[in-house]
Amino acid sequence: MQKPIKVMLKTFEDITRDLNHTHIDVLKMDIEGAEYAVLESILETSVTIDQLLVEFHDRIFDASEYKSKEIVNRLKGKGYSIFGTSVSYEEVSFVHESILKNTERK
């Protein structure tokens, strides 16, 4: 049996507050299954993010439906659109509608 180790944990909100960030241009995540909870917490903060680059790890969960399906729908509800995926659809790139609107004006 392996001994558990204790590590310090900071939430997304902790990190952005500590660094005094209210906006992030690009956030990339590959966090081995923790992306679902982190994305949920991000959606609850007031920090704005232009682009999210996420590697989903549905393959490590034994579920009848992909966990990413629900969080992708939540992201869409918050103004994010998919602008790119990998061939496996595990890596998904999102852009916020505010960026698209700014681009259309130029």
pLDDT at 106: 54
Q: Is residue 97 predicted with pLDDT exceeding 70?
A: yes
pLDDT at 20: 95
> pLDDT by residue (tens digit) across 4-34?
888 888 888 899 999 999 999 999 998 877 8
* Tokens read off for 92: 């998904």
Domain 21-105 is found in CATH 2.60.40: no
pLDDT at 11: 87
> pLDDT by residue (tens digit) across 68-77?
788 899 999 9
Whether the CB-CB separation of 30 and 4 falls below 8 Å is answered with no
For the chain, the structural domain boundaries read 21-105
23 compared with 2, residue with greater pLDDT? 23
How high is the mean pLDDT of the chain? 86
2 compared with 62, residue with greater pLDDT? 2
pLDDT at 54: 92
Backbone angles phi, psi at 40, to 5 degrees: -60, -45
Spatial distance between the Cα atoms of 36 and 57, rounded to a whole number of angstroms: 9
